Structure 1
Amino acid sequence: MPNTDPLLESLFETSLTLVAYMDTQFNLIRVNQKYAEADDRSPEFFVGKNHFDLCPNKENQEIFQKVAESGEPYLTSAKPFAYAHNPERELTHWDWSVLPVKNEQGKVKGLLLSLINVTERVQSSGRTMQEARNLSTVMEMANDGILINVDGRHIYTNQCFADMLGYETSEVLATGIHDLVHPDDLEKVLKRYRRCLAGEDEIDQYEVSFRKKDGSRLTVGVSTTLVKWDDKTATMITARDVAEQRRISRELQENKDRFDLAVQGSTAGIWDWDITRNEVFYSDRIMELLGYKHKDTRNSLGLFEEWLHPDDKSRVLAAIRNHLEKHEPYDIEHQLKNSEGEYHWFWARGQAIWNESDKPLRMVGSITDITDHKLSEEQVQKNETRIASIINVSRDGIISIDRSNKIILFNRGAEEIFGYQREEALGQSLALLLPDSEKGKHYSRIEAFQQSGDTARTMGERQTVQGRRKNGELFPMEAGISILELAGETIFTAVIRDMSAWIHAENELIEHREHLEKLVGQRTEALAAANKELEAFSYSVSHDLRAPLRSIDGFSQVLLEDYVDRLDESGQ
């Protein structure tokens, strides 16, 4: 490198990153060996060539030009790059910086480009994000309440558990076991908890009285087991409202509606856009997530647009327009800039309200910071362990099949429901668990579900179907289903509940009601007969007494008229 200072020379000799030095017209003067190897060329190939002739990119060229003119460095993270001269190579991602090199007078004489390949990190983050979503889906699809405790502290609860006791999930996490369990049952729960920590299997369900937020008492069926959570031993409590088994379909639908509302409002930061006045309310939590203060911001959609990452702005605004104009769901991931100028990833959802003329009036939504969910490969393994633990202890059957209807997952709950061991079921067709009358319907339902575009359908959305146990017994069941594309494969997962006990209880209730109605009818007929007899008796008495009374009245009148002067005041 002619006329370069020793610092630059040392950088080219010792740097472990990709380094290139160019003039202010972007003509390459020198590249190090790692830079050349990344493009499968020798360092001499690049000397004298223009950087943007080799890697044309208008946006990057404007950035380089700005650095050359302003003398201010530029840094970016995880930016995608495709090899134009070698399209067969996969897309890569890079952290890179452009630093101005100045002469003694402070004038920029060249640019120093430094790059680090972070493709593996980005791909790992994508896989981790999917695993995190899978974990969240399994947790929230569970029909039982789930509470996980580490070292006496609640670290996770699903929405079902919070709804069961009338709390928000954040309120549950702020409580202790002494706050949730009724005093009458506290010693029993603590005893079970200690036995569980000692390694004794406590999956069998027992009844416990919890204390709801409003102070009322709720009896639930509880089981406890040990699971792994972030390399720590955790106690997972699974709770089911035993009274729910006696409720009819109307109550089940009401519970589903409440669950849906709770899920829609359970995210971290809330915003409320008054479209008619173009005013936006940003909650304190949003301000906290981004590091801003209300006094330093304004309540407008323009502020949100300023926060958006340039790469996301057009996509996000288009999603908002499509929601308002076409009623398409607003469910999207994007980046927002915080008060320090850093971009964080957020998961955003929203729902608008329209008037009778289909004009949008208001849109309310939420954002959740998912930056920390960009986990490492190690975190992927932890998530897999968590999912396996939860699936294995669920009392509902959880079954996954591939596109050819072969069973690839069969949990302990499914073993108890169908009577097959896991080893017997894996690799078999799902038809093994269905009566002949249901097999054709099953394939039609799977095809319709795929074509619907839905990713999940919970219990209550589908009619009760029949299953077949290993001993040939047929039984009614309900199933929630989800579809997942994982590593290029389509996987269907069903959460199955045996409805035999529910239907038996409901039939008993119907028979009891019919018996009561019959008794009431019999007593009504007897009462009507008694009333008729009483009416006949009253008529007879009235008729028999009427003639004597009339005679007495007549004689009294004659006596009064003829002997009035002989009768004293008392006789009259």
Structure 2
Amino acid sequence: MLDNTDELAFEVEFLSCVVDKKKDFEVVDADSHFCEFVGIHYSKIKQGKLSLLDILVPQDREDVMTKICKKDSPYVYFDLYLKDNSSKYNFVHATAKNNEDSSLCQITFADVGKSEKKSKQLREKAKTMNHLIDFVTGGVCLFKVNSDMHFEVLYANEACCKFFGTTKQTVSRDSYRISDLVHPDDKSRALTAIGGAMATKKPIDMELRITTHKDEYKWVKLNSDIQRYDKKDNCPIFHAMLTDITELKAAEKEAEEQKEMLLKVLKNVPGPMFSTPFDDPFRLTVASSDFLKLIGYSRTELFEEYDGDLTKLIVPREVEVARHAIESDMENDKKVLRATYSLRTKGGKQLIVLDRRKVVELDSGKKSLIGMISDITSKNLDMYFES
């Protein structure tokens, strides 16, 4: 949200002149800014060719003269419209300093016309941007972290209000706390993330649950960073984007449950069975007990020390050949994918194995490869001696 645009629009030009009140407010001296503003050469000023009254709005002349000539007022402050060199009237702030020993008065004008114009443009831009923000599907908000670590909402767009189960009117009218909506199991992580951002000035990127109704919540991805600090209490104000990832988390949960089910099946199925992701065919996700028995490694060694990377067990010179064989069969949509390569066991042996796999599609639509390796070392040796 864009706010406090006036602070961004500060642009002022100062101009000064000296007038003689007894000579019908004739301008008797001026700086170059004043001369440029009114469009008259300094020599003409010295010749008495300009009166202050000439560049005032006619109906304002009497009021300005009254203010400047106010008795016992060495300094006078007022606003007025001053005509520039294009005959356009500009809004200015004026400070008049009366000379106690003469009829002269020095007036300094602060031309805030540019500032006013820029402020108006920025306010219009802010208004437009805020309308656009309301059309954003993700939740956009500003929140302040108080000294008691409560997160008070200062602004929320329509999508964000839907997350919180409230309205923009309620947010602007009442004190609304995000911290009260964070799921109890996620509050500690949220506080840690906010505290970390305050300490390190680094942005927040996390997932958490927001309560929408009683016993109902949405999963949201929170991206947030400190925008500024409150001038009154120096509390940090964060801008945040919240994206609804409830469906994604549900899909992930379903996929994880299916993976767990597959794990249980493959762990106990007879034969050296294994599973890999469809897009990473040599990264093991599951290995049966018979598979582990064949290679001689424990489940911990295979998945923690070797990170489930099957290529680390294949004889190095055969890795690319094996990869090409599997990926080529995948590209040709073969029902059974095949590759033959040498596998190194923990005991130092090299087994020649036949790797056969099938593509399976889970209920979630995600594909995996389920395979089995067969030790064909003795068969290859028999063929060698028979040839």
More helix by percentage? 1
More strand by percentage? 2
Flag the structure with more relative contact order, 1 or 2, with Cα contacts below 8 A and sequence separation at least 6: 2
Q: TM-score, normalised by structure 1?
A: 0.31
Q: TM-score, normalised by structure 2?
A: 0.43
